[in-house]
Structure 1
Amino acid sequence: MVAEMSGAGIQASAATACAAAGTGGQDDDLFGFRSRAVLVALVGFAVAYVTVTVGTGLHITSPRRWAGLIVAFGLLVVTARRVVRLPDGRCDRRSAVAAAVAVLAATGISWWSLPAEQYMTLQNGPATAGGIVVLTLVAVRGQPGIAWAGAVAMSVLCGLWGLDRGIGFVPGVTITVWAYPVLVLSALFLLILRPMADQNAELRARSLREAFDAASTEAAADERRRNFEDFEQRARPVLERIAADDEFSSSEIAEMHLLEAQLRDGIRAPDWDTPAIRDAVWAARARGAVVILLDDGALQSLDEEDRASSRDRMARLLLDELAADNERVTARIMPPGRPVAASVVVSSRDCTRRIEMTAEGEVVRSVSGT
């Protein structure tokens, strides 16, 4: 019996079980970028950034220069937050390039906001360190090339700033040289730990596949048990009489044919198999109507509440047609993903009617023939 049943129901049960076990690799944060520890570290760095900026800039009185320093700080904070909160374990190329450009913009705004006449070397430190923090996050998130390109561009930019301020290109570049060992460490971190992270992700995916297979097997076993219990309850009395070599009247033989058809309906169309529909189909067949029930699984992909609601609407539609004096009734639940969820085709002496129900519950009727 299970061989003919829809596999969508088993898959839905298995998916539910897997969802209970874990979310899977859809939001892979293996390095804990969005952890509380990382957040505390970034907040601590932001506090140090502000402290050094304010401490070395007490002599700055120009609102325009302070506005530039504040804008640079805000841009670095927003960029770091965006890189940290990316929804996947790896940073995509577009996001990495955007982060590198934001770093260049922030450091440039910060450096050119410093007054030339009262410049102190330490004043470059916060913006440089902030840029390196962001670029390190980009590198560790799988884009080391873009991070290094951003760091080199930042050094060139600082050299141009040095030329503009009269201290020279090379002295300007040397202000950022200390940042490169940090990128070297991030590159080593990436080379060593990224393969381990990939292996971890593969192991997680494998465990989820195994959980899905186990849930599928369990769901199939449950379905077999339910089908067998139902079969035993309805067919056992007849089978015992056959085994006892009893004689059957013509009316009893007709009832056995009806029972056989009913059992087939339960296998072939499980979502039509309700007590009310069973009785209505039995009565329609008993008076000579041809009733065919088909189920291609459109309801199996729904959650329990939506499935029950859709099944009730479809059942009311089918019961109305079974109660009428029709010669042939074909009811079909469509495959998943179609705009029409179910159809009922009814043939009577006068015409053929087709009633369709959409996934949203809308009923569309059409009539052909006379």
Structure 2
Amino acid sequence: MNVRSVLSLLGLAFTAYLAARGLIWTSPETVRRGWLIVAALVVYLPVTVLWIFGVGARARSSDRAARMPGWGVALALLVAVVVSNAPFLAVTEEGRTQPFVTWVIGGIGALMTIVMVRRRPIVAWVGMIVLTISTSFWLGPLQALSLGLVGSFLWVTSAQLVTIALDKAARDTERLAELQQAASAWQASQSGRQRERRIHVQRALQAAGPILARTIENGGNLRAADKEAARRAEASLRDELRGSRLLDDGVRVEIEAARRRGAAVSLFDEGGLEGMDAAHLACIRKELAEILRESVSDRVIIRTSPHHEVAVTIVGRSSGDAEAGDDDNVDLWREIRRPR
């Protein structure tokens, strides 16, 4: 049995105790209309049970689902009006201070406390105002206060303060959960970046390590082939820094092949691919590798694009006729569209 069930049973037991006082007529001679007392109990108990166990009772206390619907509100206000007056009408003036009559002060106070807990503060205070007006009319303000009205106000006030505290605690808990999720996401992002950096370092060592070793061995005196290999290694490292989102094994192979045949390939990641899922990136890289495989340009420039339709632009230039004074010719212009 959870805490909610225990509190519900305690609330039911307390209201039942208060209502039972209405059946113990300590001075029967003062009772003129006993049916009114019984009718007040018949109206009070079902509505109170409804508010304890009815719609939304199992919802979290901070949820709007915990609030009773409008028809339940109408029943609670009807009980506040009827029960606050019926027992006093049922007895003579001398019997109005008897426990089987004044139980309504605690009974309505208990019901309005439940109403407050069920997230209907305005209804609870309206019910308390009805109770105050009714009991003050029948008993007088001071006597009503001395017979339990002060306690009923304390119950409802305490319920509202506890409810406010619980709501704040629930909001703080949700906020803490959001912060924990954000921290976990940040930690996962940092772990991903660390793995990515390790991969870049490994690739850098694979690409540049042999060239650096030969450079040290030869004291900086490299053959032409070694110098060319060093330039390609430098270019591949630059690719990893400038356009890592565009690279996979297939793209790297085609870029290396283009450079080996003498083409200059430049990658520039200028944004636009952030947040794109792995499947879409794979499609873009596959298309880029195919374009590079077919390219015969002397210089190839690859740029990512923040455009909403174009993901990558590939421009290829080849040397023009020097004798004719021609500038470089654009012999390749391709755009890779964003996947839909």
1:155 aligns with 2:155: no
- Correspondence for 1:343: 312
Amino acid at match of 2:283: R
- Correspondence for 1:24: none
In structure 2, relative to structure 1, the CA distance for the partners of 1:230 and 1:239 (3 Å cut) is same
Query: CA RMSD for the aligned pairs?
Result: 5.4
Q: What are the equivalent positions in structure 2 for 1:234-273 lying under 5 Å apart?
A: 234-245=207-218, 247-273=221-247
Instruction: Measure, in 2, the Cα distance between the counterparts of 1:341 and 1:113.
Output: 72
| Helix, strand or coil at the partner of 1:179 | helix
Instruction: Measure, in 1, the Cα distance between the counterparts of 2:168 and 2:44.
Output: 41
- Is contact 1:292–1:331 with CA below 8 Å preserved after alignment? yes
- Correspondence for 1:23: none
Q: TM-score, normalised by structure 1?
A: 0.57
Q: What are the equivalent positions in structure 2 for 1:14-25 lying under 5 Å apart?
A: none
| Helix, strand or coil at the partner of 1:84 | coil
Amino acid at match of 2:295: D
- Is contact 1:79–1:102 with CA below 8 Å preserved after alignment? no
Amino acid at match of 1:320: E
Compare relative contact order (CA 8 Å, sep 6+) and give the higher one, 1 or 2. 1
- Is contact 1:72–1:109 with CA below 8 Å preserved after alignment? no
- Correspondence for 1:86: 63
Task: Identify unmatched segments of 5+ residues in structure 2.
Answer: 24-34, 91-99, 318-329
| 1:332 aligns with one of 304, 309, 332 | 304
| 2:260 aligns with one of 272, 275, 286 | 286
Instruction: Measure, in 2, the Cα distance between the counterparts of 1:292 and 1:347.
Output: 12
1:237 Cα deviation (Å)? 0.5
- Correspondence for 1:354: 335
- Correspondence for 2:154: 181
Amino acid at match of 2:337: E
Q: TM-score, normalised by structure 2?
A: 0.60
1:317 aligns with 2:269: no
Q: What are the equivalent positions in structure 2 for 1:35-46 lying under 5 Å apart?
A: 37-45=2-10
Further displaced range: 274-283 or 338-347: 338-347
| Helix, strand or coil at the partner of 2:138 | coil
In structure 2, relative to structure 1, the CA distance for the partners of 1:203 and 1:69 (3 Å cut) is closer
- Correspondence for 2:78: 109
CA deviation map 1:267-294 (0-9, x unaligned)? 2223323211100112233342534242
Instruction: Measure, in 2, the Cα distance between the counterparts of 1:112 and 1:270.
Output: 74
- Is contact 1:333–1:342 with CA below 8 Å preserved after alignment? yes
CA deviation map 1:46-98 (0-9, x unaligned)? 543785698689978999x96887566545654766671339xxxxxxx99x8
Q: What are the equivalent positions in structure 2 for 1:125-204 lying under 5 Å apart?
A: 125-135=106-116, 152-162=125-135, 167=138, 170=141, 176-182=149-155
- Correspondence for 2:28: none
Instruction: Measure, in 2, the Cα distance between the counterparts of 1:240 and 1:198.
Output: 60
1:314 Cα deviation (Å)? 1.9
Further displaced range: 321-330 or 308-317: 321-330
Aligned length: 297
Identical columns (%): 19
1:239 Cα deviation (Å)? 0.3
Instruction: Measure, in 2, the Cα distance between the counterparts of 1:195 and 1:113.
Output: 35
- Is contact 1:322–1:329 with CA below 8 Å preserved after alignment? no
Instruction: Measure, in 1, the Cα distance between the counterparts of 2:308 and 2:17.
Output: 62
In structure 2, relative to structure 1, the CA distance for the partners of 1:51 and 1:316 (3 Å cut) is farther
In structure 2, relative to structure 1, the CA distance for the partners of 1:112 and 1:355 (3 Å cut) is same
| Helix, strand or coil at the partner of 1:321 | helix
Instruction: Measure, in 1, the Cα distance between the counterparts of 2:268 and 2:102.
Output: 83
| 1:276 aligns with one of 237, 241, 250 | 250
Instruction: Measure, in 1, the Cα distance between the counterparts of 2:131 and 2:204.
Output: 82
In structure 2, relative to structure 1, the CA distance for the partners of 1:316 and 1:241 (3 Å cut) is same
1:326 Cα deviation (Å)? 5.8
| Helix, strand or coil at the partner of 2:204 | helix
Instruction: Measure, in 1, the Cα distance between the counterparts of 2:190 and 2:117.
Output: 46
1:42 Cα deviation (Å)? 3.5
| Helix, strand or coil at the partner of 1:156 | helix
- Is contact 2:258–2:292 with CA below 8 Å preserved after alignment? yes
Indicate the structure (1 or 2) with the bigger Cα radius of gyration: 2
Amino acid at match of 1:342: A
Instruction: Measure, in 2, the Cα distance between the counterparts of 1:194 and 1:113.
Output: 32
Task: Identify unmatched segments of 5+ residues in structure 1.
Answer: 1-35, 88-94, 139-145, 363-370
- Correspondence for 1:29: none
Instruction: Measure, in 2, the Cα distance between the counterparts of 1:53 and 1:188.
Output: 24
1:179 Cα deviation (Å)? 2.4
Q: What are the equivalent positions in structure 2 for 1:45-60 lying under 5 Å apart?
A: 45=10, 47-48=12-13, 51=16
